[in-house]
Each structure stands twice: as structure tokens, then as C-alpha cells.
């Protein structure tokens, strides 16, 4: 800790910081925890899929209050106020799947205005709309995108750790396909995901939403010895997975600690070695039995070798691209083409880690941004490549996450990074982990080819 940070953490320092507008950020609801208040469902026009989804999740929705002239009241100064819920809602879900006309967007305003200052802490706004690819006509397609403008702005205006996210349903997506996303968004697992939109289509295979979705399933996590990787391993283990924790041999002791803590196994492996995929499946077969198959691979291992491009040599360039992108592709290629003991299951999940740097670029990180944007390109392309196989490929793009790595950023800079997002704070490794676990959930088969930012709606690249 430097001097400034030390002063900042004293009570006096905190008081001054508050005066300067740097208030303590809200403590976010995390984990498999539902909102405390009612879950309100508003249905605009033709609807039904969200109500059915909530039914699958065992959630009984409450009726919305609408901001229409008749419902308004006047405050003591005579100003018109939107109707107020008797009990602060924990979440407001808007089924806008029927919205096709610009005038219908007014329906979203009516539902949202009463809760913009009336949601509980870490409340949720969840909008479900029909994807532009599944509607006809220019107006309907414009309206589909228009809804995302509402979503992103609501995310910025909400307070108290509340988030707003948008789910686009592709053609033929049903309630069972939406259920895992809805469960994730309602629960604390999505604490640091806000202002995002992703698409849900029909899954190749249906699975129920369960609290321990990975029971009896093997999940490989690379870079698992510390930081975000260790959090990923722990989160999957919490949800029932047998985790194969992978990291480079020099990180072996920390890796063993993580593996033993969660009763998984450890594999000391340099993922850039040519036979990495082969050694991975051999380990799985040896340690977890010849019948064992990999359910999910979490490609978390990554490195940075930051330099301004003016100072960047070919070595720093190549190592980052090899570890962060090429190694992942080689392992995927091996797993997807080898039906061997310990190999990838017929139905499986592959997830990678992109980055805000890949989305928006970042000074001093040409190599890193190339690798991380590359992951996004890979994810989008693999959806088509694997069409027809019950294997999904997705990625998360973390923003500012509190880790040992980001703790090394100078204090003032770090504090700026932390606060320049809608939630006014950095994320935790577990936030990244939860999102990856959601993407790997057996019930998330309809979520494919998506990149979800876990950034608290960071201003960068939004």
C-alpha cells in the first residue's frame, strides 16, 4: 500500500473521500441468492415465454405498477410522482418479446420509471426481447436494437448495486432455453454483470436448471493456481464439479493446494506444449477413470507482457499470442477431434476469457488486445463451426477485477479503474467465475457464441 492508499483507508481519509464524492460503493448481493423483494413481471403485448420461464424456476411473479397519468400521485410540493410499490421489488422483468413498433417502447418506460429509484439494493432489471434476426421489417429490427439503448442507460442510472441486462431470444428459443439465463440474472451470481445483452437460442439438448449442475461432471480449468483461475475452480466445485486444475509446473504447489481444497486433481502442464491436449486427456483418464469425459474446459490461463507498441519486440508479441490464443485453439482442436478416454464428452462446453482490452483496446497492450479480441472472434466463429454438435463456445470479458495482478496498479490509477463503471467498484474473481459457470451450465445449451462482459458496465468499450 502506498501513502495515499494508507491515508485513504483511515476513517478521516474515508470521510474526506466521501465529501469529494467518492462514497463507499454498495456491497453487492453475490452467490446463489435470489432477490429478497418481489419479482415483478411486466408483459408487453404478445408474451408468455418469460412467465413460463419463471414457472420453471418456481418464481411466482408480482404485478407491475405502470407510470400512466392516472396512477401518479402528487408530492408535498405538488410535483407528479410515479406510482410507488408498497414493498421494494427485488427484480423487474420485462417481457418485450412482442415489441415491434417504436410506439411500443413507451411500455418499457412505463414499467421502468417507478422502479428507477425504488428497487432494493442489488436489484435487477431484466429485459427479454426478440432478436433482430427473428423479426421482420425495418421498424421491428430498429426497435430490437432500441431496447438495448434502454438497457444500457438504465444500467447507468440505477443505484445501489442494481443491474440491468437484456436477453435477446433467437427464433425457436423456448422457456427451457431461457431458464438458466433468467436464474443467473436474478441470483447474486450476476452481481457484476450489467448493461449487457446476449442472445439465447434453442439448445441442442435440454437440461433442467439445478443448484448443483456439475454433479458428476469433470471441468478443466487452466491457470487455476491463483487469482481468477482459483476462484473459477472453487465456484465450479461448489456447483458439484470434479475440477481438473491445470497450471504451469512452477505454480504446482499453489495448484495442489487449490485442487486438494476442492477435492479435484492437479495437472502441472504448460498449455503451450505441443502435446498439451493429449496430456490433458491422459490425466483425466488416469485420475478420474477410463470412462471419465470432460464436460467443460475453462481456458483461463493467460499472460500479459505489456509494452507500448513503440517498444514491443517479437518475443513479447509472440508469447502473449501463443499462451492466450494459439494454445487454447490447439487444445480445442485436439479435444474436438479426438474421441478418446478422458477426452471431451459428446455434449460439452468450451469457454474462454476475453477482456475489456480486447473490446476497446488498451495502451501498452497491443499483443494482449490482439489475443483477447481473437478469443472473441474464435467464439463467434466456433458457433458456426460446431453447428449441430451439442457443444457451446462462449467467453467472458472481465473489466476491472480485484486480483493480485490489478493490486499492483498504482493506487490513483487503480481507484479510477475501479470507479469508472456503473457499480462504482471493482469486480471480484468470483464474479468472473460465476459467469463462466453459468455459460457452462448444462441448462445453458441455448447460449452459444456469446461474449459476456463482467465489468460492472465499465465505461471503457461499452
Partner 1 sequence: MTSRTAVVVGGNRTPFVKAGGRFADASAQDLLTSALDGLIARFGLAGQEVGEVVAGAVLKHTRDFNLTREAVLGSALSDHTPACDLQQACGTGLEAVVYTSNKIRLGQMDVGIAGGVDSASDAPLVVTERLRRAMLALSRAKSLPDKLTALSSIRPADLAPVPPAVVEPRTGLSMGESQALTTAKWGVTREEQDELALASHQNLAAAWDEGFFDDLVTPYLKVSRDGILRPETSMEALGKLRTVFGKGDDATMTAGNSTALTDGAALVLVAEEEYAKGRGWPVWAKVVDAQVAAVDYTTGNEGLLMAPARAIPTLLERNGLTLADFDFYEFHEAFASTVLATLKALEERGIGTVDRSKLNVRGSSLAAGHPFAATGGRIVATLAKMLHEHGPGSRGLVSICAAGGQGVVAILEA
Shortest reach from residue 179's CB to partner 1, in Å: 32
Q: Is residue 287 at the binding interface for partner 1, with CB under 8 A as the rule?
A: yes
Select from 80, 171, 261, 404 the one that contacts partner 1 (CB under 8 A): 261
Q: H/E/C letters for each residue in the chain? A: CCHHHHHHCCHHHHHHHHHCCCCCCCCCCCECCCCCCCEEEEECCCCCHHHHHHHHCCCCCECCCCCCHHHCEECCCCCEECCCCCCCCCEEEEEECCCCCHHHHHHHHHHHHHHCCCCCCCCEEEEEEECHHHCCCHHHHHHHHHHHHHHHHHHHHCCCCCEEEEEEECCCCCHHHHHHHHHHHHCECCCCCCCEEEEECCCCCCCCCCCCCCCCCEEEEECCCCHHHHHHHHHHHHCCCEEEEEECHHHHHHHHHHHHHCCCEEEECCCCCCCHHHHHHHHHHHHHCCCCCEEEEEECCCCCCCCCHHHCCHHHHHHHHHHHHHHHHHHHHHHHHCCCCCCEEEEEEEEEECCHHHHHCCCCCHHHHHHHHHHHHHHHHHHHHCCCCCEEEEEEEECCECCHHHHCCCHHHHHHHHHCECCCCCECHHHHHHHHHHHHCHHHCCCCCCEEEECCCECCCC
Q: For residue 209, how many other CB atoms are within 10 A of its CB?
A: 20
Q: Is the dihedral of CA 265, 267, 271, 276 positive or negative?
A: negative
The residue within the footprint of partner 1, chosen from 257, 361, 364, 390 (CB under 8 A), is 257
Interface with partner 1 includes 127 (CB under 8 A)? no
Is the four-CA dihedral 250, 252, 257, 259 of positive or negative sign?
positive
Query: What minimum distance in Å lies between the beta carbon of 292 and partner 1?
Result: 8
Give min distance, CB of 437 to partner 1, in A.
Answer: 20
Among 22, 71, 174, 256, binds partner 1 (CB under 8 A): 256
Confirm or reject binding of residue 296 to partner 1 (CB under 8 A). no
Residues 218-247, interacting with partner 1 (CB under 8 A)? 242, 245
**What is the smallest separation between the CB atom of 250 and partner 1, expressed in angstroms?**
4
Q: Looking at 107-115, 201-209, 226-234, 267-275, which segment touches partner 1 (CB under 8 A)?
A: 267-275
Single residue of 127, 191, 266, 281 touching partner 1 by CB under 8 A: 266
Among 54, 220, 251, 397, indicate the residue that binds partner 1 (CB under 8 A): 251
Q: Which is nearer to partner 1, 248 or 379 (CB)?
A: 248
Give 121 or 319: the residue with its C-beta nearer to partner 1: 319
Query: Quick one: which segment of 11-19, 165-173, 259-267, 312-320 binds partner 1 (CB under 8 A)?
Result: 259-267
**What track of x and - describes contact with partner 1 for positions 331 through 350 (by CB under 8 A)?**
----------x---------
149 binds partner 1 (CB under 8 A): no
Q: Which is nearer to partner 1, 20 or 263 (CB)?
A: 263
Q: Assess whether 85 carries a catalytic annotation.
A: no
In the complex with partner 1, the residue whose CB is nearer, 282 or 319, is 282
Q: Does residue 353 touch partner 1 according to CB under 8 A?
A: no
Residue 54 or 269: which CB sits closer to partner 1?
Answer: 269
- φ/ψ region of 195 (left if φ > 0, alpha if ψ in -120 to 50, else beta) reads left
Residue 151 or 242 with smaller CB distance to partner 1: 242
**267 binds partner 1, rule: CB under 8 A:** yes
Check binding of 10 to partner 1 (CB under 8 A): no
Residue 317, C-alpha cell as written in the block: 508479441
Residues in the interface with partner 1 (CB under 8 A) total 31
Of the ranges 26-34, 253-261, 389-397, 398-406, which one interacts with partner 1 (CB under 8 A)? 253-261
Stretch that binds partner 1, among 118-126, 251-259, 332-340, 380-388 (CB under 8 A): 251-259
User: Which of 85, 168, 192, 368 does the annotation list as catalytic?
Assistant: 368
Q: List residues binding partner 1 (CB under 8 A).
A: 242, 245, 249-253, 255-257, 259-270, 273, 285-290, 292, 341
Residues known to be catalytic: 368
Amino acid at each position: 500500500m502506498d501513502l495515499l492508499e494508507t491515508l485513504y483507508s483511515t476513517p478521516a481519509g474515508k470521510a474526506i473521500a466521501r465529501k469529494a464524492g467518492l462514497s463507499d460503493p454498495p456491497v453487492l448481493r453475490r452467490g446463489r441468492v435470489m432477490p429478497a423483494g418481489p419479482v415483478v413481471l411486466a408483459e408487453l403485448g404478445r408474451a408468455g415465454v418469460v412467465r413460463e420461464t419463471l414457472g420453471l424456476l418456481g418464481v411466482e411473479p408480482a404485478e407491475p405498477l405502470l407510470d400512466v397519468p392516472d396512477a401518479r400521485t402528487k408530492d408535498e410540493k405538488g410535483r407528479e410522482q410515479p406510482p410507488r410499490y408498497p414493498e421494494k421489488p427485488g427484480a423487474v422483468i420485462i417481457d418485450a418479446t412482442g415489441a415491434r413498433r417504436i410506439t411500443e417502447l413507451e411500455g418499457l418506460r412505463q414499467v421502468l420509471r417507478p422502479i428507477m429509484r425504488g428497487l432494493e439494493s442489488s436489484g435487477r432489471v431484466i429485459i427479454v426481447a426478440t432478436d433482430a434476426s427473428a423479426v421482420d421489417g425495418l421498424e421491428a429490427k430498429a426497435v430490437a436494437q432500441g431496447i438495448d439503448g434502454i438497457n444500457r442507460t438504465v444500467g447507468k442510472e440505477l443505484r445501489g448495486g442494481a443491474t440491468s441486462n437484456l436477453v435477446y431470444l433467437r427464433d425457436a428459443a423456448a422457456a427451457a432455453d431461457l431458464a438458466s439465463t433468467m436464474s443467473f440474472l436474478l441470483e447474486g451470481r450476476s452481481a457484476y454483470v450489467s448493461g449487457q445483452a446476449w442472445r439465447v437460442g434453442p439448445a441442442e439438448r435440454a437440461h433442467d436448471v439445478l443448484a448443483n449442475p456439475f454433479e458428476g461432471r469433470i471441468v478443466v480449468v487452466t491457470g487455476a493456481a491463483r487469482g481468477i483461475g482459483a476462484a473459477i475452480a472453487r465456484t465450479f466445485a461448489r456447483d458439484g464439479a470434479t475440477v481438473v486444475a491445470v497450471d504451469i509446473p512452477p505454480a504446482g504447489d499453489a495448484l495442489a493446494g487449490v485442487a486438494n481444497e476442492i477435492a479435484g486433481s492437479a495437472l502441472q502442464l504448460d498449455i503451450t506444449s505441443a502435446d498439451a491436449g493429449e496430456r490433458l486427456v491422459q490425466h483425466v483418464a488416469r485420475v478420474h477413470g477410463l470412462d471419465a469425459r470432460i464436460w467443460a474446459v475453462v481456458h483461463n490461463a493467460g499472460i500479459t507482457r505489456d509494452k507500448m507498441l513503440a517498444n514491443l519486440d517479437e518475443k513479447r508479441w509472440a508469447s502473449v499470442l501463443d499462451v492466450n490464443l494459439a494454445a487454447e485453439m490447439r487444445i480445442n482442436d485436439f479435444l474436438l477431434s479426438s474421441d478418446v478416454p478422458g477426452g471431451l464428452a459428446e455434449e460439452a462446453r468450451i469457454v474462454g476469457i476475453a477482456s475489456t482490452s480486447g473490446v476497446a483496446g488498451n495502451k501498452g497492450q497491443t499483443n494482449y488486445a490482439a489475443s483477447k479480441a481473437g478469443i472473441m472472434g474464435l467464439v463467434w466463429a466456433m458457433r458456426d463451426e460446431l453447428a449441430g454438435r451439442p457443444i457451446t463456445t462462449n467467453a467472458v470479458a472481465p473489466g476491472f477485477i480485484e486480483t493480485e495482478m490489478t493490486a499492483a496498479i498504482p493506487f490513483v490509477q487503480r481507484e479510477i479503474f475501479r470507479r469508472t463503471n456503473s457499480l462504482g467498484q471493482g469486480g471480484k474473481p468470483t464474479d468472473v467465475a460465476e459467469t463462466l459457470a453459468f455459460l457452462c451450465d448444462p441448462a445453458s445449451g441455448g447460449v452459444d457464441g456469446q461474449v459476456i462482459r463482467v465489468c460492472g458496465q465499465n465505461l471503457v468499450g461499452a
